[in-house]
Amino acid sequence: MGGAVLAGLAATGEHEVRAGVRRAEQGAALAEKYGVSYGSGAEIVPGADVVILGVKPYDIVSIASSLPLVDGQLLISLAAGITLDRLEAAVPAGVGVVRVMPNTPALIGQGITILSPGASATDAHIEAAERTMGAVGATVTVPEKQLDAATALSGSGPAYVFYIAESLIEAGVHLGLPRPVARQLVEQTLVGSSLLLQGSVEHPAVLREQVTSPGGTTAAALAVFENAALRGTFLEAARANRDRSREIASEG
């Protein structure tokens, strides 16, 4: 996810982006790919308005505590499950902390990022976080207690969509379509349907009903989904996602 945000920010051309790396060869690869400068954390943090940590959850507290952060800077955490209290305890007073969870469409500037500010975050910090993450898509701010549930929808959501796409393409192949044709049909159907949903004031159920003629082919397919309790499966999946995030927090 850190790579997706880095790529999205670099692509806008609106920010001076510096990448913190542990190995010079990794930094050189990022510089060549995205046109960013790089260095160690100690080298790139001084003078930065915003510091984004896109490391694994089990590393983030120790890394945050080792950085030369100072009063007024904003620390943005991409780590799932690591609470604001733990992050704020790891950094100096006056450093604003905001937890965020973007998703991979940030790579093309079409992501959505959930933000949860800590008690240390001022209005200016929150505005800076929204502005920074807004460079890679939309933002929505929620209390930390809702962050895990929101992450279960949008943070992991692209994986669900890709899973649906993969399954529909395979279904098309099994029905006799050439794979390139099946993929084109599924891709554009997902894109078009998403844009229709986003641009409509109608509830998704109404849009679904508009495609579904009584006794028709779509109704037959939807009946299979209902018989398989697909709605309940989505709920179970989202709950499992949320619960795993909470487990990660407790494991730390």
Strands 37-39 and 50-53: unpaired
Q: What is the 3-state secondary structure (H, E, C) of 102-157?
A: CCHHHHHCCEEEEEEECCCCCHHHHHHHHHHHHCCEEEEECCHHHHHHHHHHHHCH
Where are the CATH 3.40.50.720 domain residues in the chain? Answer: 2-142
Residues 6+ apart with CB under 8 A from 93: 71, 120
Where are the CATH 1.10.3730.10 domain residues in the chain? Answer: 157-251
What pLDDT is attached to residue 45?
A: 92
What pLDDT is attached to residue 34?
A: 86
Highest CATH level, class, for 2-142: alpha beta
> What is 187-246 written as a DSSP string?
HHHHHHHHHHHHH--S-HHHHHHHH--TTSHHHHHHHHHHHTTHHHHHHHHHHHHHHHHH
What pLDDT is attached to residue 252?
A: 60
What whole-number distance in Å separates Cα of residue 141 and Cα of residue 126?
A: 9
pLDDT tens column, 163-221: 999 999 999 999 999 999 999 999 999 999 999 999 999 999 999 999 999 999 999 99
What pLDDT is attached to residue 110?
A: 92
Residue 87's nearest CA partner among 79, 97, 95, 78 is 97
Stretches where the chain sits below pLDDT 50 are: none
What pLDDT is attached to residue 8?
A: 81
What whole-number distance in Å separates Cα of residue 179 and Cα of residue 181?
A: 5
The dotted CATH code for 157-251 is 1.10.3730.10
Report how far apart, in Å, the C-alpha atoms of 200 and of each of 78, 111, 203, 211 are.
31, 19, 8, 15
